[in-house]
Amino acid sequence: MTGPNGGGLDEAIGRRRFLGYVVAAPTLVAAAELGLTPAPDVRLPSPELTELLDLNDMMTAAALPTSGLITVEVNRDGTVSFALPRAEVGQGITTSTAMLIAEEMTVPLERVRVTLADARPELVFNQLTGGSNTTIATYTPIRVAAAIARLRLLAAAATELGSAVTDLTMRAGVITDRSGGGIDIGALAEKAASMRTQQVSVELMPRENFTVIGRPHNRIDALDAVTGRKKFAMDLDIPGAKPTMVCRPPTVNGKVGSVANLAEVRAMPGVTDVVTISTGVAVRAETFGQCIDAVRALRVSWKPGTAEGKSDESVLRELEAAELPLGPRPPTPTVEGRFTFYFRSNSALEPNCAIADVRADRAEIWSALKSPIVAKQAIAAKVGLPLGKVTVHVTEGGGSFGRKLFFDAALEAAEVSQRIGKPVKLMWHRADDSRQGRTHPMSTSRVRVAYLGDTVLSYKQRHTSVSTDLGHGLGEIITAMAARLPVGDIGFSQTFFHLSQAMSYDFGGGSRLLNETGKGFNTGSMRNVYSPDVTCARELIIDQLATRMGKDPYRFRHDFLRDDRSRAVLAKVAEVGGWGRPMPAGTAQGIAFHAEYKAVSAALVEIDCRSETVNRPVRDGVTGPRVTRAVFAVDVGLAVNPRGLEAQMMGCIMDGIALALTSSLHLRDGYFLEASWDNYFYTRQWNTPPELQIIVMPSTSEKPGGAGELGVAASMAAVACAYGRATGTMPTSFPINHGTLSFTPKPTIPPIPPSPTDGLKHAR
Amino acid sequence: MPEHTFRVNGEQVTVDVDGDVRLLWVLRDILGVTGPKYGCGINVCKACTSHINGKAVNPCAIPVADLQPTDEVTTIEGLPATVGKDLHPMQQAWLDHDVAQCGYCQPGQIMAAVALVRRAAAEGRAITDADLDGLRNICRCGTYFRIREAIKAGAENM
Ligand code: FES
Ligand code: FES
């Protein structure tokens, strides 16, 4: 990426000086603009667009003309508060943000309180959590605000202690002068405050002085998480917000025709309200248990949905028809492959949920939202209130994986609350979340590589996908920016695709194109979006190509990767993982590489495909081949919190294993068969690699790259490659077990299963 | 409406609700004990795992009427008190290994882990890889590896 590092600002005010503000307030409030990073340098079109500008530059740049201020506040009790305009859904950004503030202010991490900001429309493009962009976009502005706070505290302490600022040291939240006199920052919170808002320029802590950034830290919310004190949306006690569920259609997006027994269900125990809404029939009751019973009791006649009669096979035919041609086959030798990736679910463990209290003159919403501004706008429009009358609180999220970019539950909760005139605590049942929730669209990828001797002449890839819904604000950013990009008149999905897919290998000419088809499904960008599928196809073909050229798969990749940073992560996993070590028949290693979000990554896995492993008995589960070892190397430039980064890579590896081996949705007759975690086979303990090593490479940059999604692509690809090498057959359809239905589908009417009653019998 | 009396985290409680309402909702919606999480409602995901009389159970699958007045329900909130400390050794191991990501599954994971270690101890043996493979709790954030490490460490101090 070529955006000049701090170009304009550097020239204007010197190295590492940035502008921020002290804001008029009773206690010290320092601020900076979120869009501090200078605009990227958009140059002429090039075949390798990602080298000029990647998705993250675009997201960062999109914020420039419109950004609002973010503020660091010093409190009288000596704590420091910051409301992060992003969503914490497990990725650890509250911790990394607290680390940035602790570093610049030299206060202990425990004194920093990071909360999640309510929706702030004035931030426009700057409150979207996606594209692994949080740390990239906020790294400098947060530090600037914290550094200004530090400056002000030092100045106030100088007055108090009668010392020169240069004679003061600040450590652990206490400022000390030469004579040993000390004062806590809490005691300075008012004295350092400003009566008027003024601009301040500040220097940031030089990298070599870092004592917090770059060192491993445990999560700041870990204690709350392990004691049950961490509050998710459904744990909030909002007065009058009673449990609410929706009876949903038997097919994707079906609509209510009529309800035969409304009065009867309204009279059921605990039920307070039953009302037809745009997505089904909503039930409000004293407990969710009574909601479940009421939903099951409703007799609804349904109208068709938006995927009526469709199945895996019919969608596959649509994709084939939409595939863009690879062009005439060149006269040189080629390697080709065609890969199918079935629908997958991005359900988090916390299902879609939201609390809504909609009154005649105002509305208040609580939900884990990665695009709260768009949610706020959509909810205001839906309930017919001015934007200023709608308050949207962002709660901590129980996972996202792309799901929380959308606000389906918040919109629905607002609709129900308005219809019945009461607050609601609305939650989707797991079966709803799986069957009607958003999916990673089914896709195919065709690859053709032409080569001659030791040279790769061209690499072409045609990725064809059911449309990915990006209409959650990321789409708006892309649309708004697309005109400024050298990609011509293409839609935002294509723009996104181009921006996220780097070609890291020296493979001559060629093109990688996306075509989308078939609306009608509830889709969304699942963790790492297009990259796992695109990378998996590419890396499998690279293994084939290496074989044809008589090269070792690792050496081949090493030879063709374009830069040192990329080669270094690949070499690292090969070394640590003992690439090429002899392994028994039916087991093998696989290796793969992926670059994105200004970061590079490589995975080496070992897989066991022997029948005694594949056929291990596990009740109601899919065992299958086991990844027995995973070694992963990652270079994100600057890793703010290496322990958090390791955690993200660990999760990405589990996702990659699931995508390659076990997890998919089966579409049949217009609905997805999966309605339970024992139907949708996300990685479980019995699939987890007993050996796992994650290597965070030494920092190669002054700036952090994105990490939340980075590891999925290389992991999935490495597992697929290992499977191909262990079985001697390149897999072409994912996950590999999709052809076998490993469960009995639950009925669709009623749409949710009853809760069992034999729980005590299973006490163990 | 029928009344049901039992014990939750060391205190006797009485609730007035239909007997077939599952314990999970009695805890969460009536008593405000929100540590046990909903992830499926059909005894599959194990996010709601709690203990009854020291054994792991899934309250989403237990009608409240099944409880006796002497039954002791322990949720994650009450786990530390079972060892008379601020934190149970398994919770401490979870902190030491920085296990939690979003944290949604973790109360259930910890409660399942404690019961597993007790089970193995009752059989006079240490935790095995097969034991760990047998844990059914979903973690959609994929913290499985750190969970395994934490359980082994926590078991040492139990
Ligand atoms: S909610 Fe009880 S096991 Fe899933
Ligand atoms: S930590 Fe998020 S589901 Fe386990």
Q: What is the CATH number of domain B3-75?
A: 3.10.20.30
**Is the shortest distance between the CB of A254 and ligand 2 below 6 Å?**
no
Q: How many domains does the structure of chain A reveal?
A: 3
**CA B58 to the chain's CA centroid:** 8
Instruction: State whether A670 and A698 are in the same domain.
Output: yes
Higher-confidence residue: A173 or A87?
A: A173
Write down which residue in A205, A227, A249 finishes a domain.
A227
Domain boundary among A427, A452, A480: A427
- Are A418 and A480 in a shared domain? no
Q: Is the pLDDT of residue A709 over 90?
A: no
Residues A487 and A612 in one domain: yes
User: Tens digit of pLDDT for each residue in A397-438?
Assistant: 999 998 888 899 999 999 999 999 999 999 999 999 999 999
What is the distance, to the nearest Å, from the Cα of residue A38 to the centroid of all Cα atoms in its chain? 25
For A351, the closest chain B residue by CA position comes to: B39
Proximal ligand: closest to the CA of A230: 2
Q: Which residue has the tokens 């914290």?
A: A146
User: Which residues fall within 8 angstroms of residue B123, CB to CB, at 6 or more apart?
Assistant: none
C-alpha to C-alpha distance for A49 and A57, rounded to whole angstroms: 12
- Identify whether A45 is part of a domain: no
**Ligand 1 pocket, B39 CB below 6 A?**
yes
Q: Which chain B residue lies closest to A675 (C-alpha atoms)?
A: B40
Q: Are residues A710 and A586 in the same domain?
A: yes
Lowest-confidence segment of A340-349, A378-387, A583-592, A603-612 by average pLDDT: A378-387
Length of chain B: 158
Average pLDDT estimate for A710-719: 96
Asked if residue A176 has pLDDT above 70, the reply is: yes
pLDDT value at A209 more than 80: yes
Residue A53 domain-assigned (yes or no): no
- Residue bearing the bigger pLDDT, A762 or A468: A762
Is any ligand 2 atom within 6 A of the Cβ of residue B98?
no
A734 vs A656: CA distance, rounded Å? 11
Residue B111: both structure tokens together: 């409660």
User: Any chain A CB within 8 A of the CB of B86?
Assistant: no
Cα torsion angle, A471, A472, A474, A477, sign: positive
Q: Are residues A483 and A498 in the same domain?
A: yes
Examine the pLDDT at A298 and tell me if it is beyond 80.
yes
Lowest mean pLDDT across A74-83, A275-284, A481-490, B110-119: A481-490
Which residues 83-142 of A have a C-beta within 8 angstroms of B?
89-92
Nearest-by-Cβ selection for B44 from A429, A643, A676: A676
CA A625 – CA A363 distance, rounded (Å): 51
Same-domain check for residues A285 and A324: no
Q: Which of A432, A293, A261 is nearest to A353 (CA)?
A: A432
Percent of chain A with pLDDT over 90: 71
Token pair, residue A576, equals 């640590």
- Residues A329 and A407 occupy one common structural domain: no
pLDDT for B40: 98
* Distance of alpha carbon A734 from alpha carbon A444, whole angstroms: 10
Whether A243 shows a pLDDT value over 80: the answer reads yes
pLDDT band at A648 (very low <50, low <70, confident <90, very high): very high
Contact A222 B140 (CB under 8 A): no
Inspect the interface and report whether the beta carbons of A689 and B41 lie closer than 8 Å: no
Q: What distance in Å separates the CA atoms of residue A267 and residue A258, rounded to the nearest whole number?
A: 18
Least confident of A3-7, A36-40, A535-539, A543-547: A3-7
Query: How far is it, in rounded angstroms, from Cα A54 to Cα A76?
Result: 42
**A667 within a domain of the structure (yes/no):** yes
Q: Can you tell me whether residue A135 is helix, strand or coil?
A: helix
**pLDDT higher than 60, residue A42:** no
User: Residues A598, A56: contact at Cβ < 8 Å?
Assistant: yes
Rounded distance between C-alpha atoms, residue A342 and residue A738, angstroms? 8
pLDDT tens figures, A538-578: 999 999 999 999 999 999 999 999 999 999 999 999 999 99
Do residue B45 and residue A223 have CB atoms under 8 angstroms apart? no
Q: Within this chain, do residues A585 and A668 fall inside the same structural domain, yes or no?
A: yes
Whether residues A487 and A632 share a domain: the answer is: yes
pLDDT of residue A497: 72
Q: Does some domain include residue A477? A: yes
Q: Which residues of B touch A621 (CB under 8 A)?
A: 136
Q: CB count, 10 Å around CB of A471?
A: 16
Confirm or reject contact between A239 and chain B (CB < 8 A).
no
- Report DSSP state, residue A123: G
Domain assignment of residue A637, yes or no: yes
Is A283 among the domain residues?
A: yes
Asked whether the beta carbons of residue A676 and residue B24 sit closer than 8 angstroms, the reply is: no
The ipTM of this complex is: 0.98
Q: Is the CB of B135 under 6 A from ligand 2?
A: no
CATH code where residue A598 lies: 3.30.365.10
What are the residues facing A112 on neighbouring strands? A80
- E strand segments, A666-728: 667-668, 671-672, 691-696
Query: Closest to A287 (Cβ–Cβ): which among B30, B44, B76?
Result: B30
Q: How far is the CA of B140 from the centre of ligand 2 (A)?
A: 5
User: Does residue A432 fall inside a structural domain?
Assistant: no
Which run of H or E residues covers position A492?
A: helix A492-500
Per-residue pLDDT, A195: 87
Which residues share a beta bridge with A449? Answer: A335, A459
Condensed to tens digits (0 to 9), the pLDDT of residues B55-85 reads 999 999 999 999 999 999 999 999 999 999 9
Give the model's pLDDT for residue A124: 65
B99 lines ligand 2 (CB under 6 A): no
Question: How does the average pLDDT of chain A come out, rounded?
Answer: 89
Identify the CATH number of the domain defined by range B81-156: 1.10.150.120
pLDDT at A3: 33
User: What phi, psi does A240 have (nearest 5°)?
Assistant: 80, -10
CA distance A563 to chain B (A): 31
CB of A85 closer than 6 angstroms to any ligand 2 atom: no
Element (H, E) at A186: helix A185-188
DSSP H/E element including A425: strand A424-427
Residue A94's pLDDT is: 92
Contact A690 B148 (CB under 8 A): yes
Query: Quick one: A333 and A373 in the same domain?
Result: no
Mean pLDDT confidence for A733-748: 97
Q: Which residue of B has its CA nearest to A433?
A: B40
Sorted by sequence, the CB contacts under 8 Å of residue A58 that are 6+ apart come out as A40, A477, A478, A481, A485, A499
C-alpha B19/C-alpha B24 separation (Å) is 13
* Cβ–Cβ < 8 Å for A525, A470: yes
Task: Tell me the residue range of the domain where A726 lies.
Answer: 314-344+438-734
Rounded Cα distance, A531 and A533, in Å:
6
Report domain extents, chain B.
3-75, 81-156
- The token duo for A166 is 């240069």
Contact A78, A185 (CB under 8 A): yes
Q: Mean pLDDT by 10-residue block, N- to C-terminus, for chain B (158 residues)?
A: 93 97 98 98 98 98 98 98 97 98 98 98 96 97 98 96
Residue A189 shares a structural domain with residue A335: no
